[in-house]
Chains A and B, each alone.
Chain A
Amino acid sequence: AQTVTQSQPEMSVQEAETVTLSCTYDTSESDYYLFWYKQPPSRQMILVIRQEAYKQQNATENRFSVNFQKAAKSFSLKISDSQLGDAAMYFCAYNAGNMLTFGGGTRLMVKP
């Protein structure tokens, strides 16, 4: 079974600074997809960024980028120029077929 691990239950960052959230996963598949989801207090899960395992190039979406290390099975999220609105729970997720497997989540706090 696939597992996704987020080793940081909580992280804190100063506004305008950069923060990196860690994620590792375990799989025997070669073709899969990885995601970062954000869940603010409003409850809705919002897709932040996705990465296809067969692509070596790291995905970027504006202030959000990933460091995908396939051999190490690592998929970290970097948030640059952090904003107050980035405060939320962040979930790393893995998909190799027909369902998402989520990590335990990291609560990100942004200090003004």
Chain B
Amino acid sequence: DTEVTQTPKHLVMGMTNKKSLKCEQHMGHRAMYWYKQKAKKPPELMFVYSYEKLSINESVPSRFSPECPNSSLLNLHLHALQPEDSALYLCASSQDPRANKGYTFGSGTRLTVV
């Protein structure tokens, strides 16, 4: 298995809803990442998990809450989002935190906040 799987592919949620994005990989990678990507822009790093521990939080608002239940799974819990949070959310993984061989990305969740 050489993939990073993200679900759902599309999500529409209201500003008062609570939802979760899921990311899964079975490549034995020990680092996982959440990125946010606006249209025609590069991905922006949100969180980094190394060996299942949060190692980087790029000053992300608390309405985004990451969780890494095990080495294969990464979640992003969403609560009280704003319309400007609408974006493509990408998950990625790497063999180790140094990521010398680059990241493997999922195909993303397209989030729309209404």
Binding site for B on A (CB under 8 A): 33, 35, 37, 42-47, 50, 52, 89, 91, 93, 95, 97-100, 102-105, 107
Residues of chain A with a CB closer than 8 A to B103's CB: 45, 47, 100
A30 smallest CB distance to B (angstroms): 15
The reply to whether B108 and A95 contact each other, CB–CB distance below 8 Å, is: no
Q: Which of B55, B101, B102 meets A98, CB within 8 Å?
A: B55
Binding site for A on B (CB under 8 A): 31, 33, 40-43, 45, 48, 50, 55-56, 88, 90, 92, 97-108, 110
The reply to whether A104 and B56 contact each other, CB–CB distance below 8 Å, is: no
Instruction: Name which residue of chain B comes closest to A96, CB basis.
Output: B98
| A35-B102, A43-B108 as given contacts; A99 in contact with B48, CB under 8 Å | yes
B40 smallest CB distance to A (angstroms): 7
Residues of chain A with a CB closer than 8 A to B110's CB: 43
| A98-B55, A99-B33 as given contacts; A43 in contact with B88, CB under 8 Å | yes
The reply to whether A98 and B45 contact each other, CB–CB distance below 8 Å, is: no
The reply to whether B88 and A102 contact each other, CB–CB distance below 8 Å, is: no
Residues of chain A with a CB closer than 8 A to B92's CB: 45
